[in-house]
Amino acid sequence: MDRRSFLKTGAAVAASVSAPAVWSPSKAQSRQETLLIVSESGPNNLDIHGVGTNVPGYEVSWNCYDRLISHEMKSGPGGVPYYDRDKFKPELAEDMNVGDMSATFKIRKNAKFQDGTPVTAKDVKWSLDRAVSVGGFPTFQMKAGSLEKPEQFVVVDDNTIRVDFIRKDKLTIPDLAVIVPCVVNSELVKKNATQQDPWGLEYTKLNTAGSGAYKVTRWTPGTEVVLDRNDQWTSGPMPKVRRIIWRMIPSAGNRRALLERGDADISYDLPNKDFSELKGNDKLRIISTPYSNGIQYIGMNVKIAPFDNVKVRQAVAYALPYQKIMDAVLFGLAEPMYAAKAGAPLEAKWPHPHQYNTDIAKARQLLAEAGYPNGFETTLSFDLGFAGINEPLCILVQESLALIGIKTTINKIPGANWRTELNKKTMPLFTNVFSGWLDYPEYFFFWCYDGQNSVFNTMSYQSKQMDGYIEAARVAAANNDTAAYEKSVKEFVDLAYTDVPRIPMFQPYVNVAMQKNVDGYQYWFHRRLDYRALTKG
């Protein structure tokens, strides 16, 4: 697709597309007890602990597995139910006692896995041991909350588990409420493990083995996921919806048509142009919520020339077509992270806009100073699983970079492979979204800028000064030293925008379209649907 085709055709033609019939009432238990969700892409793995599990895979894990604790809800932007960052409630645990250097959890005695096996403290320990040991994203996520060693997880009795702290860390308890520390049916998974795969990752890639509110009963990768309610679930109110049918419909036009004629109940990854237009449809409910602690950015691998040159990176920052992207791709449904007022003082917060704006003359000057007066050639990569935003965005970036002599070839990577390719650190220039599950600046920077972090530091950026600022903020937060904390946050934000290994463009919105008879939508830090609260009238 070129820019002209994108701007002419858009998603506005969706209503005229002949969408495939995806609803089959005769096969459904009850239309009122079944939700049909349509999206662009689906999971590549059913296990959050798996290698390269993509964002849609998070949705499966969230709904099919329990964690010891979860968050309370509050009223968010526009009155939308929104997770409360600072308030927790029991989930699999019925009681939590937090001490100075440990936390003890009492597990519900009536909790059962989806095969009827009782959940015990041994299952919880094995699951937490697994999370800190499998490596990659899960292990780094646990480390973000100073959960690093199997020895920290102690079985007190069959229904009691203790988590020992290795240091004071404000993020430890919040980190137990994210998706990764989910509780797995250890005996079932061990039966399906091998010497080469001691944590049974191949089995859980294809099968859910949790105690959560739903279980996957059918999965055709790239086509459909069917989840049925676990009627033995005891960690919360029984969900009203018995069955979830989640269909992958690559065409945005078809997804929109299915919504408009009432065949689909929910879709949450239509192009922003469609969401902007659908706000006027009286038959649908449209909800737009800013990503918590989230940014879409242009990343540059600082280990690959010429992006190892800070002036090249700054030139790219001045060449990006920020406002064109905001207008032609996002239709205003995002928070800009550019063109901060010159000289305005930094605030101790994140996300925080930078002062770069589109200035082609300045970009050319910096590129010449870097030794590339005639530009260079490179590739610009994006996740095809979210092509609705990424493809037109990359076309506009390609156009704008050409004005300063940077010739880019756009590289479209299938969504199922995106996380794996990103973690190889071989892409010189790319766009991606990162949204920190724990809504704290130091958490975002731990993931994205810390030199020891090999997962979401996708730019291969290393700076001892940056690492020191991040660690200082974490220590100050743990000791409730507000002045030191704010100083460190300002320091790491300032350095990020000076070295500019990644260029924030905007804070995206989670846009969800649903039928008027669907209720119970909640915004969560992972930005995916929580089926447990959804209802259908």
Helix or strand holding residue 203 (H, E): helix 201-206
pTM score, whole prediction: 0.87
> Which residues have CB under 8 Å from 284's CB, separation 6+?
259, 260, 278, 513, 514, 515, 516
What is the average pLDDT across 135-157?
A: 96
The Cα–Cα gap between 64 and 311 comes to 47
Q: Mind giving me the DSSP string for 438-491?
A: S--HHHHHHHHT-TT--SS-TT----HHHHHHHHHHHHHHHTT-HHHHHHHHHH
**Contact of 89 with 70, CB cutoff 8 Å:** yes
**Position of tokens 């408009």?**
260
Measured CA to CA, the distance from residue 394 to residue 382 in angstroms comes to 8
pLDDT band at 12 (very low <50, low <70, confident <90, very high): very low
Confidence of residue 9 (pLDDT cuts 50, 70, 90): very low
Residues 165-201: pLDDT tens digits? 999 999 999 999 999 999 999 999 999 999 999 999 9
* Residue 181 DSSP SS3: coil
Tens of pLDDT, residues 47-62 = 999 998 999 999 999 9
User: What per-residue confidence (pLDDT) applies to 342?
Assistant: 82
Q: Which domains does the chain have, with CATH numbers?
A: 31-62+193-291+510-536 (3.40.190.10), 65-72+82-189 (3.90.76.10), 294-508 (3.10.105.10)
Residue 467 CA to residue 460 CA, distance in Å, equals 13
Cα torsion 455, 458, 461, 462 to 10°: value is 10
* pLDDT above 80 (res 231): yes
Contact 321, 396 (CB under 8 A): yes
CA angle 71, 72, 76 (to 5 degrees): 105
157: tokens are 């009795």
Nearest to 469 by CA among 500, 498, 496, 440: 496
pLDDT digits (tens, 9 = 90+) for 288-323: 999 999 999 999 999 999 999 999 999 999 999 999
User: Residue 485 phi/psi, 5° resolution?
Assistant: -65, -50
Q: Which amino acid is at 203?
A: Y
Q: Are 245 and 36 in contact (CB under 8 A)?
A: yes
> Is a pLDDT exceeding 60 seen at residue 285?
yes
- Angstrom CA distances, 113 to 3, 64, 104, stand at 51, 10, 21
234-259: per-residue pLDDT in tens? 999 999 999 999 999 999 999 999 99
Q: What is the DSSP track for 380-433?
A: EEEEGGGHHHHHHHHHHHHHHHHTTTEEEEEEEE-HHHHHHHHHTT--SEEEEE
